[in-house]
Amino acid sequence: MIKIVRILRPAFARAYVRIFGGFREKSWLFWEVILPTIFMSSIIFAYENLNAPKVFIGFVVLGTIMMNFWYNVLWGMGSVLYWEKETGNLEVYLLTGSPLPSLLLGMALGGMFNTSVRSIAMILIGVYVFQAEFIPAYLPYAIAIFLLTLFSLYSMGMAFASLHLIYGRKGIRLNEVMGEPISFLSGQYYPINVFPTVIQSIASLMPITIGLDGIRRALILGEGLDTLWIHISILSIMALILFPLGIYIMNRIVEKGRRDGRLILRWI
């Protein structure tokens, strides 16, 4: 019990910074909500002009939301950890003896909250402006798949964040490598069956592809547990592998950082 409190307290403290600090900037509504929905809207307009089936609107809304969560993992965990190092916050954090995963969990929770606000805005615009259609009855399946996907994504985020400690400024390139190609492969704006089988298989190794497909099947196509059990099983296995792997990589990199001095040397 004490151990859980020791993990969660720093996490909530860090999430507070992200949530309340973020909302204190008056421009958050513009950056966090309006700008991202403009891009989503432009894709929907393109589909509408091409007379694409109505389900594509829902595809785009859900695809954009899921990619927002993925970008939050890359930028909100990885780059922020690098920034924490540069400002000296990481050094002070490590001195406290609190586990580093707590800090990352806090960043993730704060980021998730902000991304959720953005996502709700996108769903509202999708439903009320573009008449996207979702099937609420299958929401529990979608939520289960969504949470499993997030768990896997944020586990991957721990590993990526620690790579930022090793690669420093170059880590931003890592975000780009892990951003656009995954956006392309995961089928952000389209179902991945447009790809050849080999590419579909590669794309299926990523939790976001499985998660996005499962959520679309539940909320747009109205598929139930008879097909979604595959998604849930695969995502559960991914979560079981990725979480300990993320912790392991992070601990190894922090230890290496202590050895090489990369936790404290700001210019590398």
Partner 1 sequence: MDYAIETLHLTREFHTDEGVFKALEDINLKVREGIIFGLLGPNGAGKTTLIRILSTLLLPTSGEAYVDGFDVVKEANKVRKIINLVSGGERPGYGILTTEENLMYYAQIYGLSRREAKERIEEVNRLIGLDEFLHKRLNTLSTGMIQKYALARGLLNKPKILFLDEPTLGLDVENARIIRRLVRRLVDEGLIKTILLTSHYMAEVEELCDYIAIINKGRIIAEGTVEELKNMVSREVIYNIDVKAIETPKLEFLKSIDSVVGYTVRMSNISGEARIRIVMSYEDISRILDTLERNRIKILRIHQDRISLEDVFLKLVGRGLADD
State the virtual CA torsion across 184, 66, 211, 126 in degrees, nearest 10: -100
Which C-beta is closer to partner 1: that of 26 or that of 50?
A: 26
Q: Which amino acid is at 131?
A: Q
Which C-beta is closer to partner 1: that of 6 or that of 170?
A: 6
CB of 238 to partner 1, least distance (A): 30
CB of 2 to partner 1, least distance (A): 9
Which C-beta is closer to partner 1: that of 10 or that of 78?
A: 10
CB of 92 to partner 1, least distance (A): 4
Instruction: Report the distance separating Cα 207 and Cα 165, nearest Å.
Output: 24
- Residue 227 tokens read as 């097909």
CB of 254 to partner 1, least distance (A): 11
Residues in contact with partner 1 by CB under 8 A are 5-6, 9-10, 12-14, 16-17, 20-21, 24-25, 87-89, 91-98, 258-259, 261, 263-264
- Residue 243 tokens read as 């979480």
Which C-beta is closer to partner 1: that of 53 or that of 97?
A: 97
Which C-beta is closer to partner 1: that of 98 or that of 149?
A: 98
H-helix or E-strand spanning residue 63: helix 55-71
Q: What is residue 79's DSSP assignment?
A: I
Q: What is residue 263's DSSP assignment?
A: T
Which C-beta is closer to partner 1: that of 98 or that of 186?
A: 98
In this structure, how many other beta carbons lie within 10 angstroms of the beta carbon of residue 189?
18
CB of 258 to partner 1, least distance (A): 5
152-155: list long-range contacts, CB under 8 Å, 24+ apart.
Answer: 152/207, 152/211, 152/235, 152/238, 152/239, 152/242, 152/243, 153/69, 153/70, 153/73, 153/207, 153/208, 153/211, 154/73, 154/77, 154/104, 154/105, 154/108, 155/239, 155/242, 155/243, 155/245, 155/246
- Residue 3 tokens read as 């151990």
Which C-beta is closer to partner 1: that of 136 or that of 261?
A: 261
CB of 169 to partner 1, least distance (A): 17
CB of 80 to partner 1, least distance (A): 11
